[in-house]
A and B are shown apart, each in its own frame.
Chain A
Amino acid sequence: NAGVTQTPKFRILKIGQSMTLQCTQDMNHNYMYWYRQDPGMGLKLIYYSVGAGITDKGEVPNGYNVSRSTTEDFPLRLELAAPSQTSVYFCASSYGTGSLTFGAGSRLTVL
């Protein structure tokens, strides 16, 4: 049972480039989330989804887009990378009650 899998683990982008962070879960969770963690800070919610086809903004959505075409997958898209998006990104999922299960994280650097 893999849980929540994120790819890539590391990526360096140039300013203005775009990329997609992939997230997949095999626990049949309805709820999925993207958080970012900056140094010395807690995790901040970017986007979340309550089920396939339904997404909504979190606390810091600017510069990001998401889609949820299946229960398993919740990719995060960065269209025009900026240095402010240098961070560690965590994907998580849950049944809707109790705790969230997190992936191992994707470290993104924008130069």
Chain B
Amino acid sequence: DQQVKQNSPSLSVQEGRISILNCDYTNSMFDYFLWYKKYPAEGPTFLISISSIKDKNEDGRFTVFLNKSAKHLSLHIVPSQPGDSAVYFCAAIPLIQGAQKLVFGQGTRLTINP
């Protein structure tokens, strides 16, 4: 039962254009959402997050949008740069006190072409 889904295994975008990565979830108990970026042979690194009480959070070139009614979130990167080429994971945390047991999507491999 995949509670967090990233339906696009890969995405290719031209440098300077906008990259849009999508994520869908099924569990309405998810309260907090995060995006992680992962380079080969490294661990995931935190990129940006959003609480369920918001619909948008922006940090520099990165913006995350949350549509609770559609159970959908997206990550926008603009402008895209070659260093953005990586695997991006969407993750969600349920509204339960205690440890943050992140539930991850399968990941989307983003390739930025010069």
Known: A90-B43, A99-B34, A102-B44. A45 touches B100 (CB 8 A): no
| Nearest A-chain residue to B4, judged by Cβ | A42
- Tell me the bound Cα distance from A43 to B88 in angstroms: 12
Number of inter-chain CB pairs below 8 Å: 61
Q: List 7 A-B contacts (CB under 8 A).
A: A31-B100, A35-B104, A43-B104, A45-B101, A48-B101, A100-B100, A101-B46
Question: In chain B between 1 and 40, which residues have their CB closer than 8 angstroms to a CB of chain A?
Answer: 4, 6, 9, 34, 36
Q: Which residues of A contact B100 (CB under 8 A)?
A: 31, 94, 96-97, 100
Residue B42, interface by CB 8 Å:
yes
Question: Interface size (A, Cβ < 8 Å)?
Answer: 28
Which size bracket describes the interface of B in this complex? 20 to 34
Q: Which residues of B contact A53 (CB under 8 A)?
A: none
Q: Which residues of A contact B83 (CB under 8 A)?
A: none
Binding site for A on B (CB under 8 A): 4, 6, 9, 34, 36, 41-46, 49, 89, 91, 98-107
- Tell me the bound Cα distance from A101 to B100 in angstroms: 12
Mostly, the B contact residues are: loop
Q: Which residues of A contact B99 (CB under 8 A)?
A: 31, 33, 48-50, 56, 96
Nearest 10 CB-CB pairs, A to B?
Answer: A102-B43, A42-B104, A99-B46, A43-B104, A42-B106, A48-B99, A104-B43, A102-B44, A42-B105, A103-B43
- Tell me the bound Cα distance from A104 to B39 in angstroms: 10
A102 & B89 in contact (Cβ 8 Å cutoff): no
**Interface digits, A54-70 against B, CB 8 Å rule (1 contact, 0 not)?**
00101000000000000
| Nearest B-chain residue to A48, judged by Cβ | B99
- Tell me the bound Cα distance from A49 to B101 in angstroms: 10
